[in-house]
Amino acid sequence: MASFPTFAEMKKTLLSLGLALFLGTGPTAWAKDTRVDCEAECGAKSRRIKEHTFLFPMLQQSAFVTTYFGIREGVARYDVPDVPVGNLEPFDVHLTGLQQTLDLSLALTDWLALAGFGRATIITGTTPSGLLSSGATLDLVGQVGGVVRLLHSEHSGTQVSVRANVGYDRGRQVTLLPFVNAILQTPAITLEEIIQGQVGQLLFVPNRETTLNGGVYAAQSFGPLFSLQGSASVEYAWQNRRPFDLGLGHRFDQKTHAFRVFLALAAALDFNERFHVPLAVQGEFAFRTGRETRAVLDDRTLSDSTVGLGIYYSGRSNLQVGIGGTVTLNGDPYPAQDSDGTQESGEPTLSYGQLILRYVW
């Protein structure tokens, strides 16, 4: 028959437990140490090579097979020079935008993961002239795909992976200039006719794009302090824009396509491991080229360059939080409604700043 402990035995047990807790050797301290060890190892294991914890770049995807959830909040400024507006002289337009992105990756094995993101972007003119000439755009983008690790070497500090993705972009462009021109050409039109009739259809243009892309991604560690990441990828896009034609009385399809090539490089310095300063800096460069068909204007060759810089807190290996900025120096000319329908703007500059948060398992 089991016997209950005496009061003296219970007192002795409680005193022993209290002493152990006071000295930091009890169950709570042990659990805390376990969490710290796991935070240092588990969170960094999937993106750590040769004592260096890699950062996720802004301008390219990474070579790592990992599980994470992320949020990116951003504000953009879009400066477009020499925008043609009807029969008026071209003038400069300034647009601003807001963007929110949700990132998700799920590692199925050490060498295979599923990844994707969803993004919402709104861009609008900041002045009456900008709103009139360029309108506003709303885009919803989703992409899903997979990453397969081909090489992981702790000896050389190298990891190489391949990625493939399918994406879908659905948006709506607010086009004020054709809408205003139609009203001016119909002086007797009433507000009810504008709202309920065909003229109101000119106010926006639906568009969509389906993409298929893939590429090779590499990461190279040079020890705790410095690392490089690079990628080369290609993308094919099927596009469809549906403007409204007053003469026809309905929308029509403008189907185009594009072939794009992306080259990117990121260099990072992490001062945490060697100098115990929880700060990391990453500079980035991306180049895009390719060919794009257009419904009204001539086909064009794509060519633009983007530079970026991110500053991150690196004190926790399972957390990437920081701020980043990018500038696209020579973006695609902005198509505009001209009297001949054949002109476009000069090369715009896109500046983008964002807050980045990713939690890694």
Do 10 and 72 sit in the same domain of this protein? Answer: no
The predicted-structure confidence for 232-268, as pLDDT tens digits, reads as follows: 999 999 999 998 887 777 888 999 999 999 999 999 9
Domain that holds residue 70: 52-360
pLDDT for res 23: 43
CATH of the domain at 244: 2.40.128.130
Closest by Cα among 282, 244, 246, 247 to 265 = 282
Do 81 and 4 sit in the same domain of this protein? Answer: no
Do 101 and 67 sit in the same domain of this protein? Answer: yes
Would you say residue 20 has pLDDT above 60? no
Do 29 and 73 sit in the same domain of this protein? Answer: no
Cβ-count burial of 162 within 10 angstroms (0-12 exposed, 13-18 middle, 19+ buried)?
Answer: middle
Partners of 197 in the beta sheet? none
Q: For the residues 292-305, what does the mean pLDDT come to? A: 87
197-201, 258-262, 296-300: least confident range:
197-201
Residue type, 73: E
pLDDT for res 212: 98
Would you say residue 47 has pLDDT above 60? yes
d(CA 310, CA 71): 15
The predicted-structure confidence for 144-172, as pLDDT tens digits, reads as follows: 999 999 999 999 999 999 999 999 999 98
In this structure, what DSSP letter does residue 1 have? Answer: -
Closest by Cα among 107, 79, 106 to 93 = 79
Residue type, 143: Q
d(CA 202, CA 136): 13
The predicted-structure confidence for 269-286, as pLDDT tens digits, reads as follows: 999 988 999 999 999 999
Do 102 and 30 sit in the same domain of this protein? Answer: no
Residue 223, token pair as written in the block:
């020890």
Do 244 and 343 sit in the same domain of this protein? Answer: yes
To the nearest whole number, what is the mean pLDDT of the chain?
A: 82
SS (H, E, C) 38-58: HHHHHHHHCCEECCEECCCCC
Element (H, E) at 354: strand 349-360
Do 190 and 134 sit in the same domain of this protein? Answer: yes
Whether the Cβ atoms of residue 236 and residue 261 lie closer than 8 Å to each other: no
Do 146 and 185 sit in the same domain of this protein? Answer: yes
Greater confidence (295 vs 226) lies with 226
Residues in the chain: 361
**What is the number of structural domains in the chain?**
2
